[in-house]
Structure 1
Amino acid sequence: MARLREFDYEQVLDGALQLFWRGGYEATSLDGLLSEVGLSKSSFYGAFGSKHDMLLASLDRYIETVLQANIDDLRRGSPRAAIIRSFEKILGFQPTSKTCFLQVCAIERGGHDQLVRMRVRRGLELLEEAYRDAIVRGQEAGQFAADADARVLSTFLVANLYGLQVLGRANMAGDARKKSLATIMKALA
């Protein structure tokens, strides 16, 4: 007879996500991971299979929770305000703000790990689609240029979002990034 899990799967996954997010995959040791989430090796292997499988599950969890919350927020209120709010929330405009977990995984593993790359791409496509929907709503409301290609603009937003995030990690002043955001928003007009 199989034993029931004696831990909260989502809570353990959230702890693993935070650890991978802070330190990256390679820097996260299995012992550190087990200590962070409070599992024995047998429970860990029984529930997750491997450190890599836990990373994949963490990426899925990030997409389903953190990224989805950002996507849901893009659907609220004025499209222009929603896009600005999204950038401000994701960028944080603080040098200590976290880099998006999709970006962390893309940089560290995306070049050689197809399973990670596929999940990162899925997350980016979801975000891009949410920006496209906000742009279309903004076009219909007269906030953005009606003749502009919403798909191209949504790709433009995602590319600039992640570019500004890299600049933030290099401690580029938040004021310069805010001015860049203002210029990005002018491209939608």
Structure 2
Amino acid sequence: MTPALGRPREYDTDEVLDRAMKVFWAKGYEGTSMADLTAASGLKPGSIYSAFGSKAGLFERVLDRYVDTVFGYAAAAVRAPTVREVVRRWLDGVVHATTGSTTPPGCLLVQGALAVGDTARAVQEQLHRRRLAGERMLVERLERARSEGDLPAGADPAAIAGWLLSLSAGMSVEAAGGADRRRLQRTADLALARLPWE
């Protein structure tokens, strides 16, 4: 006797993650209820638990999707041929990602960090790990630039990465507070007019 096969999934996982992403992005982790997620995804709570294990499990998958799609500008930026172009592409990515016409304003990684309280320590740790991964990627690129002579020998890659990430986070908070793309672009242009180590 042939064993019965499970019912195939009747949904697109990426689409579910994209819909859940918008909810978490707009409401934060703790502000998002299971009812919000079922309404956005069209799935029943049991299907969400079956596919992702828990709300935290779904959020982790959403973060993976966010890093691969929206935050993909970071990986693209560090492939630029010069540090100035790395910074330009990074800031351009921030401007566009935080003011998208089809997504909530701001940055999921920043908004998530602001909206998560002590009750969701594991979620805080996930967000922290992902921010650190982005920082490491940037520091490694800047270290290479220094070794190639594209940064002064006395430049501190970790400090430069911290400067760029702080500027990016500030722009994200501005976007979440209602700043439009033109305003953020002016901030980026001002930063690029003369980079701190130039």
TM-score range, shorter chain: 0.7 to 0.9
Task: Tell whether 2:137 aligns with 1:130.
Answer: yes
How far 1:106 moved relative to its partner? 0.4
How far 1:86 moved relative to its partner? 0.7
Distance 1:104 1:94, change over 3 A: closer
The residue that corresponds to 1:83 in the other structure is: 87
Structure 1: gaps of 5 or more residues: none
Which amino acid is the alignment partner of residue 122 of structure 2? Answer: L
Matches within 5 A, 1:11-160: 11-92=15-96, 98-109=105-116, 111-160=118-167
How far 1:74 moved relative to its partner? 1.8
Output the TM-score relative to the length of structure 2.
0.78
**Residue 191 of structure 2: which of 170, 174, 181 is its match?**
181
Q: d(CA) in 2 for partners of 1:11 and 1:170?
A: 27
How far 1:70 moved relative to its partner? 2.2
How far 1:157 moved relative to its partner? 1.8
Whether the aligned pair in 2 keeps the contact of 1:95 and 1:171 (CA below 8 Å) is no
Distance 1:144 1:80, change over 3 A: same
SS in 2 for 1:186: coil
Whether the aligned pair in 2 keeps the contact of 1:136 and 1:150 (CA below 8 Å) is yes
Q: d(CA) in 1 for partners of 2:178 and 2:19?
A: 27
How far 1:57 moved relative to its partner? 2.1
Number of aligned residues = 188
Q: d(CA) in 1 for partners of 2:35 and 2:91?
A: 36
How far 1:179 moved relative to its partner? 5.1
How far 1:170 moved relative to its partner? 3.7
Whether the aligned pair in 1 keeps the contact of 2:17 and 2:65 (CA below 8 Å) is yes
Distance 1:162 1:177, change over 3 A: same
Whether the aligned pair in 2 keeps the contact of 1:131 and 1:157 (CA below 8 Å) is no
Distance 1:42 1:169, change over 3 A: closer
How far 1:37 moved relative to its partner? 1.2
Structure 2: gaps of 5 or more residues: none
How much is the aligned-residue C-alpha RMSD, in angstroms? 2.8
